[in-house]
Amino acid sequence: MLKKPIEIAINKQINAEFHSAYLYLSMSSYFQSIGMAGCANWMKVQYQEELAHATHFFDYVLERGGRVELAPIGEVEVDFDNVLQVFQKTLAHEITVTGLINNLMDVAIHESDHATKSFLQWFIDEQVEEEANVEQILNNLKLINGEGQGLLMMDREMQARVFVNPFPAKA
């Protein structure tokens, strides 16, 4: 059975994951509108990952006898200046999410909830990877000043990204 502080904290995280999905879908739409299909695809995969994360948290609360209470999803930005700005905002967002996951772990530690600590470890490791991936994209964008043929090459590379659900359905 989940302790109430854990249940409340995970419910907040579920909302944050859905908000992240909504943000990345907005960024995907922006990229599509400026003819950057590869970047749009990259963000759509991010959107799918965030939905998977939210669902995994959702299922965990239910599995532990808790109750999921969905809250409204806050507004997200819809207008951006350029590709570089979008990925700068993406990195800032991922750093924020890392802080949220770390705070969740702090609650689990405070509550001596070892099962939740174990559950959260995957997300902590995932955030290290998320930040590193976006930093690499930003580094590449800075090398090409976020424009020209280099940007077209990056856009094509991003078209190849596919979503792989990290949480396959249980049999």
User: Which tens digits make up the pLDDT trace of 106-162?
Assistant: 999 999 999 999 999 999 999 999 999 999 999 999 999 888 899 999 999 999 999
C-beta separation of 60 from 10 below 8 A: yes
Domains detected in the chain: 4-158 (1.20.1260.10)
Side chain identity at residue 57, one-letter code = F
Write out the two tokens for 25: 């879908």
Side chain identity at residue 85, one-letter code = Q
User: What is the structure's pLDDT at 171?
Assistant: 58
Q: Is the pTM of this model over 0.75?
A: yes
C-beta separation of 166 from 160 below 8 A: no
